[in-house]
């Protein structure tokens, strides 16, 4: 059972929008044992959409389509699908009701172009959109399923969860596809591959290993394809643990979750709290920690001390230290950790100070130089990194490295 994803919208082709929908949809389909064979992005033109429908349905069983369903003139997905599948345009009453109620409750006048959003070809099964206005549409043709959904992520997700996933589960019986991912840090892809040479050679053909470098981490994903869920899961689990043992020294976590969540789970387990004192990452580490639901169990607050003045005022870093060693130094980061432990009253603190670029570097401290500290009242690690990326990536990697230093300490 295979699927293709078609995303429609000029904004995808000029690079104004990063497509996050496809990844989410692919995860959902995979979870049901449906393999996504291709993802295609096309512009808001009739020909491009028709071509994509033909090309993808030639090889895939299920074609998920997002985008181009808005109320404005550039949105032409609906008329194009109407042309492709035929039928009459009819009013979808539940959508019209929802629409009227929504506009009324907001005290807004309803426009013809909004009313038109409730029009659908009668060749489709309508999937009510509980999160927005444009409904989803489920078509079938020559044994293939086509589903059109809005491009707004939370509307697409709502329609997938409310309608598409249950319907696909009902309609198709498929093989089990299972993934297990090991997060590692501290060894390059080639060296890990060398360590796994024998392991990889003996993998059965229905189990595949992929190396996924992700800033600061290397993810190792095992994918198994099997007839039976239980036996496939057991086989996968055995191999996964064998791989994990081979890489014991570099394992970060045995699940593909963000580093903030890895840290959160460890802190929760140990009943400890954490705070941050950030300079160059400007709040990004705190954001990574608080992005996790329930983080208030181990997180109470943070400071961002961007200027030297703030480092002195809020964290008690000494003027002499800043004078002698500069803000980007082991000494300053040590005092930031100590000061933040006192100020925030947490069990652990992560502190960072560095130069993220593009400006601010010097021959002794080039752009990308960063000091990372993690510590408690009892112990402290301070490590220097030299990053080589742009500002955005430097900030992201510093955050990952810093959280990983605390993870090691825990």
Which positions from 333 through 372 interact with a copy of itself, judged by CB under 8 A? 343-344, 357-359
Q: Between residue 306 and residue 325, which ones bind a copy of itself under the rule CB under 8 A?
A: 306-307, 309-310, 314
Task: In angstroms, give the least distance from the CB of 128 to a copy of itself.
Answer: 16
Residue 281 or 338 with smaller CB distance to a copy of itself: 281
Number of residues that bind a copy of itself (CB under 8 A): 105
End-to-end, the C-alpha distance of the chain in Å comes to 44
Structure token pair of residue 240: 């996964």
Task: Quote the CA–CA distance of 373 and 387 in Å, as a whole number.
Answer: 16
Cα–Cα distances in angstroms (integers) from residue 358 to residues 21, 214, 335, 346, in the given order: 31, 22, 26, 33
Q: Between residue 226 and residue 255, which ones bind a copy of itself under the rule CB under 8 A?
A: none
Sequence-ordered list of residues with C-beta below 8 angstroms from that of 233, at least 6 positions apart, any chain: 176, 178, 224
Task: Choose the binding region for a copy of itself from 79-87, 202-210, 240-248, 401-409 (rule: CB under 8 A).
Answer: 202-210
Binding status of residue 55 toward a copy of itself by CB under 8 A? yes
Task: Quote the CA–CA distance of 145 and 243 in Å, as a whole number.
Answer: 39
Residue 299 or 401 with smaller CB distance to a copy of itself: 299
Binding status of residue 161 toward a copy of itself by CB under 8 A? no
Sequence-ordered list of residues with C-beta below 8 angstroms from that of 120, at least 6 positions apart, any chain: 78, 89, 90, 92, 95, 126, 135, 137
Q: Say if CB 219 and CB 154 are below 8 A apart.
A: no
Task: In angstroms, give the least distance from the CB of 399 to a copy of itself.
Answer: 9
Task: Choose the binding region for a copy of itself from 27-35, 79-87, 261-269, 373-381 (rule: CB under 8 A).
Answer: 27-35
Task: In angstroms, give the least distance from the CB of 38 to a copy of itself.
Answer: 6
Task: Quote the CA–CA distance of 68 and 65 in Å, as a whole number.
Answer: 9
Q: Between residue 62 and residue 81, which ones bind a copy of itself under the rule CB under 8 A?
A: 70-74
Binding status of residue 377 toward a copy of itself by CB under 8 A? no
Binding status of residue 200 toward a copy of itself by CB under 8 A? yes
């Amino acid at each position: 059972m295979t699927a293709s994803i078609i995303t429609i919208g000029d904004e995808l082709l000029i690079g104004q929008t990063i497509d996050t929908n496809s990844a989410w949809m692919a995860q959902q389909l995979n979870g049901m044992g449906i393999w996504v064979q291709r993802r295609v992005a096309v512009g808001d033109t009739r020909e491009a959409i028709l071509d994509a429908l033909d090309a993808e349905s030639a090889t895939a069983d299920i074609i998920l389509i997002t985008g181009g369903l808005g109320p404005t003139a550039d949105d032409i997905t609906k008329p194009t699908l109407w042309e492709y599948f035929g039928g009459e345009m009819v009013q979808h009453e539940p959508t019209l009701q929802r629409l009227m109620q929504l506009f009324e409750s907001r005290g807004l006048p309803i426009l013809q172009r909004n009313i038109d959003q409730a029009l659908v070809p009668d060749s489709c099964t309508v999937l009510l959109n509980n999160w927005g206005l444009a409904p989803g549409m489920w078509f079938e043709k020559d044994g293939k399923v086509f589903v059109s959904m809005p491009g707004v992520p939370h509307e697409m997700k709502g329609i997938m969860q409310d309608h598409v996933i249950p319907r696909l589960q009902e309609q198709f019986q498929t093989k089990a596809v299972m993934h297990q991912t090991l997060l590692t840090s501290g060894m390059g892809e080639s060296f890990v591959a060398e360590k796994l040479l024998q392991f990889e050679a003996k993998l059965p053909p229905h189990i595949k290993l992929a190396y996924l470098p992700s800033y600061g981490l290397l993810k190792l994903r095992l994918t198994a394809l099997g007839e039976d869920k239980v036996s496939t899961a057991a086989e996968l689990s055995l191999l996964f643990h064998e791989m994990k043992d081979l890489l014991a020294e570099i394992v970060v976590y045995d699940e593909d979750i963000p580093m903030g969540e890895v840290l959160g789970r460890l802190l929760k387990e140990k009943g400890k709290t954490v705070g941050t004192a950030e300079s160059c990452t400007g709040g990004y580490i705190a954001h990574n920690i608080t992005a996790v639901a329930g983080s208030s169990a181990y997180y109470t607050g943070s400071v961002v001390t961007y200027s030297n003045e703030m480092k002195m005022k809020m964290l008690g870093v000494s003027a002499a230290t800043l004078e002698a060693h500069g803000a980007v130094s082991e000494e300053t980061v040590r005092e930031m950790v100590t000061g933040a432990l006192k100020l925030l009253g947490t069990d652990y603190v992560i502190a960072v100070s560095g130069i993220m670029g593009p400006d601010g570097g010097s021959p002794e401290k080039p752009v990308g130089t960063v000091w990372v500290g993690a510590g408690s009242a009892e112990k402290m690690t301070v490590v220097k990194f030299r990053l080589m990326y742009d500002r955005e990536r430097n900030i992201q990697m510093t955050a990952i490295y810093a959280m990983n230093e605390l993870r090691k300490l825990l």
